[in-house]
Chain A
Amino acid sequence: MSRRALFVALALCALAVALGALRWRLIERAPMLAIVFDHQDHFAVKCATCHHNFFDRTGNDSCYFCHKQRPELARRVQTDFHTLCRDCHTKIAAQGYASGPTRRCGGCHDWRTPP
């Protein structure tokens, strides 16, 4: 391998590491999108399906407190909540019942409505 190729390879590796670190920082600091969640629509779902902290004693605050404040959870908050909500909606829809949104972001994230 020529010296130039080695230099380019090393530079690319360094760039990848730097971008990776920057990416984690951006994910941790990204604001959490407002979510429309009506409990009345979810009476058929067991409380512990979402509120696991009631039983496993991992905290007493809102979802936001742990899932956004703790870095290890903040890095996968989007995947965790998307999996929890969307997969449940998809499963119920596949059984032929009326279900919650599974497609567009605006179905759950209510960022257009002013406070």
Chain B
Amino acid sequence: MQTGSKAPAPAGRSAPEGRLLWAVLAYACVPLGLVLWANGSGVDRLWDLAMGLGVAAATIVALLPVLSARWWAGAQGGSSLLRLMQRLHRDLAWLCMGFVLLHVLALLWLEPRTLDYLLLSAPGYMLAGLGALLLMLALIVSSSARLKRRWPQGVWRRWHAAMSLGVVALGLWHLLGAGFYFAGLGAQAALLCLLGVPTVIALLWHFQPPTVTGRAPRETARGPRRGGALATVALLLAVLAACVWWAQALTSSPAADVPYPCPAGRCL
């Protein structure tokens, strides 16, 4: 992933990469489908879809460490396989970031009161979700070829692995704490398997690195996607900030400040 010739990777997505991408997407959506199917009553489609984006993002995040070029360096297939894994890893990371941002923005749009969950007074499991989002941003920004070259390879890799582990841990805390779909013991065990198994495999591989038989091309600093990485992240943050501002304006309207206890004896 970091070593090899200076030949740039082709810009288009190859057919095997496309198939793998769809396979991972299907895998990430299976748990959500099962949950929606099991919770037939009281379903709120848009709300569930917004939540499902978060679950799918967590599933993909847990898979990303085992879908990186580093772990497939010992497999048969040479540099083409490594290039495939490299591109798949990057595309999935961007997809995951998009899912998380859509999850946040959709929930703010559907229910502006969820803005409270982005503030410091939010419950710990919600701050964990916010922390995971910020860590993911840091991972993506620090993975741009230009920034990556500033650190020694081993140092960058260790930080990247540690931050990835942090994202999975915070995501797990967020999902279990929110308790929307993973309240029961069976559902929690399924979630632990979903996020835990790939993470354990990645950790095992981390301590027993594969023998390198192929080399992936070094990423170029002026690639068509990496060149705009920072601009894209800035744009996404600006959209998020605008949405937060809008939700704040909506919830701080006079009608929103109903004093407690509320009238007509309908409250606790």
Question: In the complex, which residues of chain B have a beta carbon less than 8 angstroms from the beta carbon of A33?
Answer: 113, 260
Secondary structure dominating the interface of B:
loop
Q: How large is the interface on A (under 10, 10 to 19, 20 to 34, 35 or more residues)?
A: 35 or more
Question: In the complex, which residues of chain A have a beta carbon less than 8 angstroms from the beta carbon of B268?
Answer: 35, 37, 62-64, 81
Query: How many residues belonging to B are interface residues under a CB distance threshold of 8 Å?
Result: 32
List B103-136 residues whose CB lies under 8 Å from chain A: 110-111, 113-114, 116, 119-121, 123
Cα distance, A31 to B48, chains bound together (Å): 28
Distance in Å from the Cβ of B38 to the closest Cβ of chain A?
8
Q: Which of B17-25, B39-47, B72-80, B189-197 contacts A (4 or more CB under 8 A)?
A: B39-47
Number of A-B contacts defined by CB within 8 Å: 96
Residues of B participating in the A interface, judged by any CB pair closer than 8 Å:
38-39, 41-42, 44, 47-48, 110-111, 113-114, 116, 119-121, 123, 179-180, 183, 251, 255-263, 266-268
A sample of 15 cross-chain residue pairs with beta-carbon separation below 8 angstroms, ordered by A number, consists of A19-B120, A22-B120, A23-B120, A26-B121, A34-B260, A38-B266, A81-B268, A87-B179, A89-B42, A93-B42, A94-B39, A97-B41, A103-B42, A111-B257, A115-B262
Residues of A participating in the B interface, judged by any CB pair closer than 8 Å:
19, 22-23, 26-27, 30-38, 62-64, 68, 78-79, 81, 83, 86-87, 89-90, 93-94, 96-99, 101-106, 109-115
